[in-house]
Structure 1
């Protein structure tokens, strides 16, 4: 974050009541879970597979692998970040860096080059070109039959990827999903609602701080039978 943006944030907090209200979920999340991306899961065990979707510089994967001895697949379309992670984890067999995003279809995207806020939905400033690969072939190629945790922070890409995960049935293979939805406009409220409805077919929301972080857990067989 730049000094200018930090000063703007502090000014808005001091002078703008609606801005303070919008930040309330963030403050509540920090009080309950701390500042960092959620990385504590009682159900995760040694040897599990986790997906770091939007890896940035790889801190979440590093934390998870050291904490639980899991294998992490990291997906990062920003060429600079992907290269840095490949170098960071070059001597590690438990972190696999994939220099592309996953989405509903193959393609490419122009990413704003804004450090950890790089997004295909923000066009201001310099950009870099990233690659997108369709979800299905990636799942088959990596043999993702069972996934303990998916962490997703992809700056708006969730509105493309999550529907693909739901409609393909891949969500049924995921035990926990921790996702950060992003709000770039008022239409994203409805888009999030639709996706949450889809997630509720196979998962239950354990906690949610709107447009900050929320966590979903796969329904147990007992829960599924009860719905029938």
Structure 2
């Protein structure tokens, strides 16, 4: 880290209470779950269906298949990363790759080209074109039944996808959901709160580090 960046970080720690709280939550998350994307689940069985929503290059899907022998559907709209996933698992039957995002409707996405932070909500710099498909139609097309676990890291797309799942009643198909909410503006706090209230009708929050990661379980599943 450059001296300028270090000074900027220290200044934020000294002057911004929200930033200090976020850093404290992040350190607590790291102590409990490690550095990477959460992948520890109790009760998963071989052959169950898992969704990797925001697949990036397939590392989480690889971990889940190796650890639990589940079948993973990856959804990744960025054409470069989707191609990498497809090639990586070309000879595998336990990872099914889909080169599109899922959301409330069919649409074209203009994505920032920023590795695992690529987003349709940040379009500075180079961009790539991807697609989002209506989640209801996708679930019907893929004949998806109960989802044993799902990871959702879609750089702001959660504010579209989660309400769509809730409104369609599809959220009840998710036994376990690990989601990262993103804050691009102060309005995202309210949007997250509204989604959490709706999600609490069917699920209970097992653990939560705001705007880092949180995990929800279907109420019928228990703890």
TM-score by length of 2: 0.94
Distance change in 2, residues 1:119/1:221 (3 Å): closer
| Alignment correspondent of 2:207 | 207
5 Å matches for 1:12-51?
12-17=8-13, 18=16, 19-51=19-51
Distance in 2 (CA, whole Å) between partners of 1:133 and 1:204 is 28
| Structure 1 SS opposite 2:52 | strand
Matched positions, count: 219
- RMSD over aligned Cα, in angstroms? 1.7
Instruction: Give matches, 1:175-186, under 5 Å.
Output: 175-186=175-186
1:219 equivalent in alignment to 2:195: no
Q: Distance in 1 between matches of 2:87 and 2:221?
A: 42
TM-score by length of 1: 0.92
Structure 2 equivalent of residue 146 of structure 1: 146
Superposed, 1:75-224 pairs within 5 Å as 75-220=75-220
User: How many Å separate the matches in 1 of 2:221 and 2:52?
Assistant: 26
Paired residue secondary structure (1:128): strand
Distance apart, 1:112 and its partner CA:
0.3
SS in 1 for 2:91: coil
> Counterparts of 1:211 and 1:7 in 2: how far apart (Å)?
26
Secondary structure of the structure 2 residue equivalent to 1:146:
coil
Structure 2 stretches lacking a partner, 5+ long: none
Contact kept in structure 2, 1:12 and 1:20, CA below 8 Å: no
Structure 1 residue 77, shift from structure 2 partner:
0.2
CA distance in 2, matches of 1:174, 1:11: 44
Give the CA deviation at 1:20.
Answer: 3.1
Unaligned runs of 5+ in 1: 224-228
- Verify the 8 A CA contact 1:13 1:20 in the aligned structure 2: no
1:67 & 1:222 partners in 2: Cα distance?
Answer: 22
